[in-house]
Amino acid sequence: MTHTPTHPAADRSPAGGNPVRRVFLLVLDSVGAGAMPDAARYGDEGAHTLRTVSRSPLFSVPTLQSLGIGNIEGLSFLGPVAAPRAAVGKLAELSAGKDTTTGHWEIAGIVSPTPLPTFPDGFPPALVERFSRACGRPVLCNRPYSGTQVIADYGAEHRQTGALIVYTSADSVFQIAAHVDVVPLGELYRCCRVARELLVGPYAVGRVIARPFAGDAPRFYRTPDRRDFSLPPPPPTLLDALQAAGREVIAVGKIADIFAGRGVTLSDPAHGNEACLAATERFAGQDFEGLCFVNLVDFDMNYGHRNDIDGYAGALSAFDRWLSAFLPTLRPEDVLLLTADHGCDPGDPSTDHSREYVPLLVYGRQIRPVPLGVRTGFTDIAATVGEWLGVPYDSGRSFAALTRRAKEDV
């Protein structure tokens, strides 16, 4: 499988106005903006994460509305405003797939023309046997499974036998669940590294995921010590380019894991939206020049995959309240960019990701609040962030010139 950056012409112009020194790129994991034209090929025709969530009585996003989320094409049901505070649009994915890895890689400039492999019937027995021998433990399950249901169904047997619970999903993942009293975290992570080394070629899944859990049957629960061991992206990503140019690349949440640590200068592997947003605030209070790249996983992990519409709505409303307090803290040289990596419609019968457009909201003292339309490729984000930070990156079409305020207006 190959992954290549795209090279369409970019609408760039010479730098003007005050320089952008810091970009805060927040990925609202799975907050999709409606089915893409090819959604039926993925079984996602009619999917619309934001529309579904907006119908919950717990949904309230006045800050996002003031920025102009309702002004994005296809999102008028969220309430357009006469004078949006942000530049707004939506992005279509160029990569084949609808998973976390390809979505984030494309945001960082890498298009994946073929999907990462999935295993709807489980992993080949010979591969699982090699993994079992290398780890020194037998294996249970080896089927696609819900992460919470798999520990409910196999947790007691795991505790009795010490066998690792191996499972997958509709995503390109090899997941290993183990009780913390049976398999210490260090050993679980070692087994994940073993799997990562074995999963190459046609078995090169996007992520090997450690899924530690605790408690007693029937009330097992997953601990926050999840860790992802990702397939390294092909170089050069935007992160590589920024690091090579001497810019900071601060990764918050699972960003460093998604990029296998490549191109990251500083990482805070915070768990959950609340911790990731607190880390974002902390970095916003520090001096740096570069990118703060944040993943907010709870929308996807806790609510989208569990078909919890009200929980999803409540999480978006909580984010909106945080955003209201965060915006005034931004400095004149800062830009905030909000987007997503795919959809995960909690109203869909499936618990899988959905093939959707993603929203794009760009806010800052130097940003002209213009419509950005429907843009082809998450790669436009990479091109734009590179231009803002003075690091040319040849992938996608930058919208920096479209959003640049006149110098006297900054």
Of the chain, the percentage scoring pLDDT greater than 90 comes to 90
Whether residues 94 and 143 fall in one domain: no
* Statement: residue 16 has pLDDT above 80: no
* Statement: residue 14 has pLDDT above 50: no
For 143, the 3-state DSSP assignment is strand
Whether residues 171 and 192 fall in one domain: yes
Query: Any idea which of 5-9, 136-140, 243-247, 355-359 has the lowest mean pLDDT?
Result: 5-9
Whether residues 299 and 225 fall in one domain: no
Contact of 227 with 139, CB cutoff 8 Å:
no
Chain CA centroid to CA 362, Å: 17
* Statement: residue 111 has pLDDT above 80: yes
Nearest Cα to Cα of residue 99 among 196, 25, 170: 170
Domain count, the chain: 2
Any domain includes 57: yes
Q: Which residues contact 200 (CB under 8 A, 6 or more apart)?
A: none
**Using one digit for the tens of pLDDT, what is the confidence trace for 151-180?**
999 999 999 999 999 999 988 999 999 999
**Using one digit for the tens of pLDDT, what is the confidence trace for 285-302?**
999 999 999 999 999 999
Contact of 85 with 369, CB cutoff 8 Å:
yes
As a whole number of angstroms, the distance between CA 28 and CA 342 comes to: 9
Whether residues 242 and 338 fall in one domain: yes
Judged on CB neighbours under 10 Å (0-12, 13-18, 19+), 319 is buried
Single residue among 197, 230, 263 that ends a domain in this structure: 230
Whether residues 159 and 289 fall in one domain: no
Contact of 47 with 355, CB cutoff 8 Å:
yes
Whether residues 386 and 396 fall in one domain: yes
Judged on CB neighbours under 10 Å (0-12, 13-18, 19+), 224 is exposed
- pTM for the whole thing? 0.89
Per-residue pLDDT at 349: 87
Whether residues 168 and 98 fall in one domain: no
Whether residues 267 and 310 fall in one domain: yes
Per-residue pLDDT at 10: 36
CATH number, position 214: 3.30.70.1250
Any domain includes 193: yes
The single residue listed with the structure tokens 């010490």 is 162
CATH number, position 76: 3.40.720.10
Contact of 263 with 255, CB cutoff 8 Å:
no
Amino acid at site 111? V
CB-facing half-sphere around the CA of 266: CA atoms within 13 A: 14
Strands 290-296 and 371-376: unpaired
Whether residues 133 and 265 fall in one domain: no
As a whole number of angstroms, the distance between CA 44 and CA 39 comes to: 5
Any domain includes 178: yes
As a whole number of angstroms, the distance between CA 180 and CA 162 comes to: 11
Single residue among 168, 197, 230 that ends a domain in this structure: 230
Per-residue pLDDT at 408: 57
* Statement: residue 232 has pLDDT above 70: yes
* Statement: residue 2 has pLDDT above 50: no
What is the average pLDDT across 313-342? Answer: 98
Whether residues 52 and 164 fall in one domain: no
Single residue among 209, 230, 251 that ends a domain in this structure: 230
Contact of 253 with 294, CB cutoff 8 Å:
yes
* Statement: residue 410 has pLDDT above 70: no
Per-residue pLDDT at 19: 86
Whether residues 381 and 249 fall in one domain: yes
Contact of 163 with 184, CB cutoff 8 Å:
no
Per-residue pLDDT at 170: 83
The boundaries of the domain holding residue 209 are: 125-230
Whether residues 217 and 85 fall in one domain: no
Which pair of structure tokens corresponds to residue 86? 């942000």
